Amino acid sequence: MEDLTGARVLVTGGTGSLGHAIVRRLMAGDWGLPQYVTIFSRDEAKQHYMRLWYAKRLKATDDIVYEQHEERPPLRFIIGDVRDYRALSRAVPGHDVIIHAAAMKQVPICEYFPAEAVATNVDGTKNLVRAVHEHGHDVKVVVGISTDKACKPVNVLGMTKGIMERILTEANLLPGSTRYISVRYGNVVASRGSVVPLLQSQIMRGGPVTITTPDMTRFLLSLDQAVDVVFEALHHAGPGECYIPRVPSAKIVDVAKALIGDQDIPMIFTGIRPGEKIHEILVSEEERYRTIERGNYYVIRPMLPELTEDDLGSCGLPRAYSSEHTSLNVEELTRLLQEFVAREKELDDMLA
């Protein structure tokens, strides 16, 4: 797929942080202007405010659903839950590209409600594959959004996302021409519930800033970079492949220091939360043997031999791709976080 010009795009979980960022880029035509974009989510309030945001209206009116703009594709909204196969079966027809961003993604919440995480992340993906297979005969590609926690998982989120990846890989064996792929990355700096917004809110209140442990590290990328991974995979990924960005990592304590700057704000250590790792891994020791480099990305080839057409050749990675091998100090983090903030403002201004 060269670009998305004229494509009919469905985004599940389109009102979430990542989903909204994807929609912004789609509407801006960064990869060609789609024919239309459909947001599928279960949150009517978020859909309402997102509709108003794109219509550039400060308050709702009875006669405005979405204000058309000649330089943007139409934006459509569907209320539905990926747990509901019937809702997906109604939403999928009429689309060429599906970006599957709907998920339960908070690590502690998934630990306390594992069955709910399975219902959304696993059963929801099964429902989507079934809906595409039975009703989405025009769908050319489905890309699922995974996480570094799916790699050698120790928590419910990672376990369910790891299974999601495998469901999408296996779906390539179904009759039809739909390509199922996935992307996997680390901590998205500006997403709801992630560490940076949490630290920023604590700093605004004057502290203290809470850190789980001094040794904890994470991969860092912006929402904009996360969307780039999705678009790159749509363009280049083969059936069953998983795209992974090469991004920096840092100690969370250094992220906090960069955000605090010269303010007199205390920092306390609270211990690891349920299901957390000290270090995250994007490519495991076992996966590195079927991982190749493609541009600025690592690509994990599918485990199923039916989907691997050529010899992998030499290993693309000499070791596991872990956040333990940190690459950013406090000064570099300060500059990086400032760039993230500036880019987010630029994205917000795109549709002004």
Q: What is the pLDDT of residues 75-97, one digit of tens each?
A: 999 999 999 999 999 999 999 99
- Residue 190 reports pLDDT greater than 70: no
- Residue 185 reports pLDDT greater than 50: yes
Mean pLDDT of the chain: 88
pTM: 0.89
CA–CA dist 160, 153 (Å, integer): 9
Name the strands in the sheet holding 217-221, side by side, starting at the edge strand that comes first in the sequence: 187-188, 217-221, 249-251
- Residue 177 reports pLDDT greater than 50: yes
pLDDT digits (tens, 9 = 90+) for 228-238: 999 999 999 99
pLDDT in the model for residue 65: 46
Q: To which residue do tokens 């917000």 refer?
A: 348
| CA 162 and chain centroid, separation | 14
Q: Does domain 8-350 have CATH number 3.40.50.11810?
A: no
Q: Tell me the average pLDDT across 232-253.
A: 94
- Residue 293 reports pLDDT greater than 80: yes
Supply the residues annotated as catalytic: 149
pLDDT in the model for residue 265: 93
pLDDT in the model for residue 195: 78
- Residue 57 reports pLDDT greater than 60: no
pLDDT digits (tens, 9 = 90+) for 250-290: 999 999 999 898 899 999 999 888 778 899 999 999 999 89
Q: How far is CA 134 from CA 3, 176, 343, in A?
A: 26, 10, 40
Q: Higher-confidence residue: 315 or 171? A: 171
CA–CA dist 217, 278 (Å, integer): 6
Domain edges within the chain: 8-350
pLDDT in the model for residue 53: 81
pLDDT in the model for residue 329: 87
